[in-house]
Structures are given as C-alpha cells and as structure tokens.
Amino acid sequence: MVNLQLSTYELAKLSDVIIRARRIVVFTGAGVSAESGIPTFRDAQTGLWAKFKAEHLATANAFRQDPALVWGWYEWRRMLVMQAQPNAAHRSIAMLASYVPRLTVITQNVDDLHERAGSKDVIHLHGSLFKPRCFACARQHASGVDIPNQPDAGQRVEPPRCIHCNGRIRPSVVWFGEQLPAVEWNAAMAAVTRNACDVFISIGTSSVVYPAAELPFEARSNGAIVIQINLAPTESDMYAHYNLYGPAGEILPQLLNTAWGSQDF
Ligand code: OAD
C-alpha cells in the first residue's frame, strides 16, 4: 500500500472533500498511461522527447518534408497503444463516474485507454491516434483496426491517400504550432468555470504544454479544490491544494477507496 504522505487529519479532510463533491474533473497526461507501458514525453531516458526530436515528427512542416517518417512513427505509437491494456488508474477513473453526479474526463493523451477502461465522453485536447484525416482536405479517413505490423519506431511507412482528394492522410493529433480543437477546448474550459467544478484532479502531466496546462490554474481560480497525482513535483504544484507523489495506478485507487471506505477502486 502506498503512503499518501498525508497526516491522518489531512487525509480525513481530503476524503471529505472528495465524497462531498458533486462535480469532479479529472485531467490526465501521459503519466496515467505509463503503467500500461506507453512512454511519456518528458521523463528522462524513457520519454519520447528524450529519444526523438519533436520538430522532425510532431509538426506540420515535418509531415510536409517527410510524410513517411512521420506516419511511420505514429503508426508505431498506434501499435504500442493497441497492444497495451488500461491500468488501475484508468479503471478507477471510469469507476468514479458511478460515484459522483458529474464526472468530466479531460485528457491530453492520444491513446484510447480511458475509453477502453469504460470512461465515456472523454475530452481529447490533443486529438487521437485513431481518427486519421486528410492533410489537404481534412476529411476523416477510415482508421485501420489492425495492429500495424511495424516493430521499429524509425521505419518509414507511406501514409494512405484520401479517397476524396488524393491528399496524404495524417494522424489526427495536435502538432506543435497547431490550435487545439475548438469544441474540445471550449468543453474543457466550461468544465472548470465557476460553479462547474468542485474538485479537479490532475494526474500524470508535467503541466508544461499550454493551453492545456492552464486548466489546473483556471479550476483553482474558479473555486475548485485541486489535487495533483504525479511521480514528482511539476509546474502545477503551486496551484494544487494537495500534491500526492507516486504512481497513479496505486495512489488513485487508494485515495478513492479511502474516501468512500470501499475496495471498489
Ligand atoms: P509529459 O511526458 O510531459 O509528463 C508526464 C508526467 O507524468 C511527468 O510529470 C511524470 O513525472 C509523470 N508520470 C510518469 N509516470 C507516472 C505514473 N506512473 N504515475 C503518475 N505520474 C507519472 O506528458 P504530458 O504532460 O502528457 O502533446 O505532455 C503534454 C503534451 O506534451 C502531450 O500531450 C504531448 C506532448 O508534447 C502533443 O503531442 C501535442
């Protein structure tokens, strides 16, 4: 059992805050999927940006210059996700929906592990690996349901062509320099406006990528109690009322079980 590093008094207070909450927002980053074996971006050595250059793989310009390299890299990541399973943190978040009147899940992740754990209406701020679209005309392209046969991250794979305009198909993820999808961003901001959110739980994000990283600050400014779960301190520590350090798959179930006096999570 993980020590939540809270005094008995603080833990009782936090449990009370959680079980009284009517509207909870859970905001996740790559750390929530780390225990499923999906690499994060910024962790030293294991993070994707420690091994690959974002400017060669995660910009529209990179795609224009070498579409096969970029498409191959995202197909490799899609393969990793399809071979992975949701972990205890994803499952606890899905279960939480039966315990609070309103739960909103906002993620920066492009995987589908929240959905596969049972979460509904997840707001994907940075897009998805599973909804490719045309780089030229933006129309959706039917996603492959197969696991791509591509074990190597650096392997070039020609992107498919659009059936409407013959443009190249791109992954429907938000690249550096691109805007967040407006509908998703507006929904996320609405979820943290005043009186919309009692408790905001930020899990496994370094909180350095904007505008997503504004959400904990917005939630706090609008009156929410902010709880952060992360292996290590982040830029958001100062906005959080409670910082819980440790693996999300252990900390979150323990926190929720303690709050509800259950073993359900
Ligand atoms: P990062 O890689 O920046 O941060 C992951 C965070 O998860 C770090 O703070 C880790 O300490 C923490 N972490 C790792 N394992 C954990 C675990 N088991 N339990 C709890 N925490 C853990 O990932 P994000 O914050 O999601 O954007 O990155 C934000 C955005 O930057 C991504 O969506 C992506 C990237 O560039 C785009 O692709 C647009």
Tens digit of pLDDT for each residue in 53-66? Answer: 999 999 999 999 99
CA distance 11 to 65: 53
| Atom 18 of ligand 1, residue of closest alpha carbon | 247
State the average pLDDT over residues 12-35.
Answer: 96
Name the phi and psi angles at 96, rounded to 5.
-55, -30
CA-closest residue to ligand 1 atom 32: 108
Given pLDDT bands bounded at 50, 70 and 90, which one contains residue 3?
Answer: low
Residues labelled as active-site residues: 126
CA of 209 to the centre of ligand 1 (A): 10
pTM, 2 dp = 0.96
**Predicted confidence band of residue 106 (pLDDT cuts 50, 70, 90):** very high
Pocket mutation for ligand 1, best pick of 205, 229, 250 (most atoms within 8 Å of C-beta)? 205
Does 177 have pLDDT greater than 60? yes
Say if residues 2 and 231 touch (Cβ distance below 8 Å).
no
CA 113 – CA 46 distance, rounded (Å) = 20
| Average pLDDT, integer, range 230-245 | 94
Q: Which atom of ligand 1 lies at the shortest distance from residue 247's CA? A: 19
User: Is residue 2's pLDDT more than 60?
Assistant: no
Least confident span in 41-45, 148-152, 234-238: 148-152
What is the pLDDT, as a whole number, of residue 1?
52
Q: Is the pLDDT of residue 148 over 90?
A: no
Give Rg (Cα) of the chain. 19
- Give the residues surrounding ligand 1 with Cβ less than 6 Å away: 29-31, 34-35, 40-43, 47, 58, 108, 126, 173-174, 204-206, 209, 229-232, 234, 247-248
The atom number, within ligand 1, closest to the CA of 89 reads 19
What is the pLDDT, as a whole number, of residue 147?
67
Ligand 1 centroid to Cα of residue 32, in Å, is: 8
CA of 60 to the centre of ligand 1 (A): 22
Q: Ligand 1 centroid to 86 CA: how many Å?
A: 16
Encoding tokens for residue 209?
Answer: 């990528």
Phi, psi for residue 169 in degrees, rounded to 5 = -85, 135
Q: Which amino acid is at 218?
A: E
Q: What is the pLDDT of residue 172?
A: 96
| Structural contact between residues 190 and 183, judged by C-beta atoms closer than 8 angstroms | no
Q: How far is the CA of 165 from the centre of ligand 1 (A)?
A: 36
